Structure 1
Amino acid sequence: MDDPFFDSLKTGYAEFPQWFSAKSNEDLYVVDDGKRLSGMLYLKREAGPITDIQPNLPDRVWLKVGTLKIIGKGTKLGERVLKKVFDTAISSDADGIYVTVFEVHSKLIKLFKKYGFVEFATKTTANGIEKVLVRDMNKFTGNLITDYPFIHTNEKSSWLLAVYPEYHSRLLPDSILNNEPKEIIQDVSHTNTIHKVYVGKLSLTRMSPGDAVILYRTSDGLAPARYRSVATSVCVVEEVRKKKDFVNVEDYIAYCKPHSVFSERELREQFLTWPRLYVAKMTYNAAFNRRTTRGSLMDDAGISEQPRWDFRELTHTQFRTILELGQVNARLIVN
C-alpha cells in the first residue's frame, strides 16, 4: 500500500485502504514488471439486481469491474486488461459487465465505450458521483468491435493461417505453449493489444472483414509436425490490405507497428524489398484451452494434408470442430 501506484486510488476512494485489506484473500490481477506496479484489476461475480446505482441493474448475473488502474507507458495495457475482463465474463457465464468510473477518467471511458459499453446509470457515494458503464453480453450490434469478443459466423468464411514459432507467442500472449518461457512476453503494444497485425507474402485478399481465422503455430522442428504444429487461437478479420494500399513506407509503418511483432527496421525492409506484401488486421478473440495438434486437425477435423497449411479456407464443419477440439467456449460463437 506504500507504493506510489496506489496514491491516486487512495485519493479517489477514502475507503480504499480498508477495502484493499479486506480483499487480501481474493484474486487481484496485477501488472508487475519486477520494478514497479503498472496495473491492477479486481473482478467480482455478482447476482443481481444491483441496487446501489440509479437506475438499478436487473436481476441477472453480473461481472463487476471493482477496481481498475492502468499505467500504460504508451502501450496498449488498457486493451490487454479489458481482454481479461471479457475472458472472465465469458468463463463465469455473466450476462453483463459493469464498471463505475469518475468522469475525469475520459480515456478509460472512451476505451470501454469502444468495446460496446454504454452509460447506463450513476453511483453516488461520499467520494462523489461516478458514471456506470454497462456491457450487455447477450445483445449484439453486428459490429465486430462493439460485439468483441463474440464471433459472428452467419455468411462468413473461416480460415487456417500459419504463424512461425518465433513470432507466435510474442503476438499472442494468451496462447503461449506450456514449454515456452514466459519471459518472451513483454509489455509492448503488439503483445498487449486486442488488435493484431499479420504481415506476409501470401495473398490474403480472399479474407473479408468478419471472417474467422484459426491461427496455427508451425513446428519448431523438435519433433514431427504432426505432434509439434498446433492450432492455438481464433481471431476475426478487421481488414486486409495490399502493399499498394499504403501511400508510402511511413504510412505502412504507422499502420503496422503498434500491432505487429516486427520492429520498425524490419517493417521498413519488408516494404522496400518485398514485391508482394499483404497485411491482415485482426481482433484476438480467444486462446484455445487445449492446443490442437496437426495430427488431431487431420484425424478429427478432417483437414487434408494438401493444399499447404500456410493459408487455406476451412469448411463450416471444420471450423466448428477445431473450436470444439480447442475447448473454446461455445458461447463466443454467434450464428
Structure 2
Amino acid sequence: MSNNLQLVTFGSLNIHDPFFDSLKNDYKEFERWFTTTASKRQAYVQFNDDGTLNGLLAMKMEHGVVNDVVPPIKSKNILKISTFKINPHGTRLGERFIKKALDYAIQENASICYVSMFVKQDTLIRLLEKYGFTNHGNKTTNNGTELILVKRLSVIVGDIYKDFPLMKIAGNSKYLLSIYPKYHSIMFPDSILKNETIDILDDVSHTNSIHKIYVCRMRDVSRLSSGDLVVIYRTADDGRSAEYSSVATSICIIDEVKHQSQFRGFDDFFKYASKYSVFDRDDLFYWYGKQGCYTIKMTYNAALSRRLTRHKLIEEVGVDREQPYWGFVQITDDQFKQILKDGGVNESLIIDQARIR
C-alpha cells in the first residue's frame, strides 16, 4: 500500500485498527462519533505497508465564536484541527500535517487555527509550539481537561519558524534558486508537477519536513541572509527546452547558509545536512569532496498554484533573458510580487503591507 498522504472519509477506515486505541481510551464518545457524525468527513491519512494507519489529520471550519473552550475563541473564520495523531517513526510526518493544516487555513481565509491536546501529548505540543501555536486556555469535558493551542494567522513575531507559513517580503532580498528535477518534487511535495507521479513521494524526512536543506557549489548563494526569500526554479528535464519546461514552483524563506569550511569535517557536515536533505550519504560525501559547497537551509512556505515557465518569467515578469547563469538570480521586489500574483499565491500569506496588486 502507498505511504503517500491520502484524503479519505472516516467511513472508509477500520475502527478496529490499533491506531485508534488511544483515541478510544481518551475520548469515551469516539466510537459513536466515528461511526455517525464523522463517517462522511474527510481526513488526511498515511498507511503503513500492511494497511494499518500511521497518521491521521482531520480539520473542520468554524465561524464566529467557539464557546466550548475557556476563554472563547472569536473570529469570522476559524480552523479547528479536530484529530491530529501520528505513530512516531522519525520521518517528520507531524511537520507535513502542520503544513497541510495551515495551508488549508490560509485557503479558507481563517485568521485562527486551534487544536486541543491533553498534557501527556507533550511531543506534539512542543512541535505545534515550534510553529507558532500558543497556549490559549483549556477545555473541560467528561474526558478531562485539554489544553487549547492557538495560532493566529494575522500577526508575526519575527521568528521564521513561529511565523510559518506567513512571509514578510518588505526589507528582504529575493532570488531565483534552481533545483534539479530529480531532487525537486521529493523535496517540495506540494509543488509536484502534473506530469509526475505521486509514487515518488515516500514517507521520509526530506519530503515531510517544513525545513529543507539543499547542497550546491554556487558561490553567490553566500549572499543569502536569514529572512531572504527564494523562488524555487525547477530546471528542465534532460532533452527538453528550458524555455517552456523550466518552471518556478515554490516560495521558501532562508533560515541559514553555511560553507563547508564551517563544519569540523565530513561527519559534522553529514549530521547537519542529512536531517532535511534529499541527498544520501554518498551524495553528500561526493559534494563535500568537491570542496567549496554550501548548505542552504530554508522553510517551505508556499507552492505556486500556477507554475511559471521560464518564458513567462522573461516575457511577463521581466527577468533578464541574458542572465549569464540561471542557477541563482537576484530579482527585484516588483518581479517577486508579480511571481506571487501570477503564481496564485494567497495574499493572506503576506503579512506586511507590500500586498500583491
Matching residue of 1:151? 167
Once residues 47 and 344 of structure 2 are traced to their aligned partners in structure 1, the CA distance between those partners, rounded to angstroms, is: 29
Whether the 8 Å CA contact 1:43–1:67 is kept in 2: the answer is yes
Structure 2 length-normalised TM: 0.91
Alpha carbons 2:201, 2:207 under 8 Å: kept:
yes
Q: After TM superposition, list the pairs within 5 Å mapping 1:309-324 onto structure 2.
A: 309-324=326-341
Equivalent residue in structure 1 for 2:178, among 162, 165, 168: 162
Aligned to 1:32: 47
Instruction: Please tell me whether residue 87 in structure 1 is matched to residue 103 in structure 2.
Output: yes
Distance in 2 (CA, whole Å) between partners of 1:29 and 1:252 is 35
2:272 aligned partner: 255
Quick one: which of 10, 23, 26 aligns to 2:38? 23
Secondary structure of 2:222's counterpart equals coil
Q: CA deviation at 1:265?
A: 2.1
Q: CA deviation at 1:269?
A: 2.7
CA RMSD of aligned residues (A): 1.1
CA distance in 1, matches of 2:121, 2:195: 40
Q: Match for 1:101: what amino acid?
A: M
Is the counterpart of residue 68 in structure 1 residue 84 in structure 2?
yes
Shift of 1:60: 3.2
C-alpha deviations, 1:272-324, integer Å up to 9, x for none? x1121111100000111011111111111011121321001010011111111
Distance in 2 between residues matched to 1:33 and 1:235, nearest whole Å: 30
User: Hey, what does 2:347 align to over in structure 1?
Assistant: 330
Q: Specify which of 280, 286, 308 is matched with residue 325 of structure 2.
A: 308
Could you say what secondary structure the match of 2:148 adopts? Answer: strand
Contact 1:290 1:327 in 2 (8 A): yes
Q: How does 1:180-259 map to 2 (within 5 A)?
A: 180-203=196-219, 204-259=221-276
Show CA shifts across 1:25-73 (max 9, x none): 2221111244221111110110121110111112432100001101231
Structure 1: how far apart are the matches of 2:301 and 2:87? 24
1:2 lines up with 2:2 in the alignment: no
Structure 2 Cα separation of the partners of residues 269 and 214 of structure 1: 26
User: Who is 1:118 aligned against?
Assistant: 134
State the alpha-carbon separation in 1 of the partners of residues 73 and 186 from structure 2.
39
The structure 2 residue matched to 1:57, chosen from 51, 73, 90, is 73
Residue identity in the other structure for 1:57:
I
Q: Is structure 2 residue 94 aligned with structure 1 residue 78? A: yes
SS for the counterpart of 1:289 is strand
Alignment partner, residue 8 of structure 2: none
- For residues 160-185 of structure 1, the C-alpha deviation after alignment (integer angstroms, 9 at most, x for no partner) is 00001011011111111011111111
Q: Helix, strand or coil for the counterpart of 1:309?
A: coil
Retained in 1: the 8 A contact 2:155–2:351? no
Aligned AA (2:154): N
**Counterparts of 1:168 and 1:212, CA distance in 2:** 17
Query: Any idea what SS the aligned residue of 2:223 has?
Result: coil
Q: Secondary structure at the match of 1:291?
A: strand
Cα deviations across residues 244-285 of structure 1 (Å, max 9, x unaligned)? 1111111111111110000122212321x1121111100000
Q: TM-score, normalised by structure 1?
A: 0.97
State the aligned residue count. 334
- Within 2, Cα distance between the matches of 1:181 and 1:169? 10
SS of the equivalent of 1:86 reads helix
Mind listing any 5+ residue stretches in structure 1 that lack a counterpart? none
The whole-number CA distance in structure 2 between the counterparts of 1:136 and 1:29 is 23
Tell me the amino acid that sits aligned with residue 77 of structure 2. V
Opposite residue 42 of structure 2, the aligned amino acid is: D
* 1:149–1:332 Cα contact (<8 Å) kept: yes
Distance in 2 separating the partners of 1:182 and 1:33: 16
1:152–1:333 Cα contact (<8 Å) kept: yes
Indicate the SS of the match to 1:48: strand
Measure, in 1, the Cα distance between the counterparts of 2:270 and 2:334.
37
**1:167 partner SS:** helix
| Matched-pair identity in % | 43
**Residues 221 and 228 in structure 1, CA contact (< 8 A), matched pair in contact too:** no
Find the residue that maps to 1:111 and give its secondary structure: helix
Could you tell me which runs of 5 or more consecutive residues in structure 2 were left unpaired when the two chains were aligned.
1-14, 353-357
Which residue pairs with 1:286 in the alignment?
A: 302
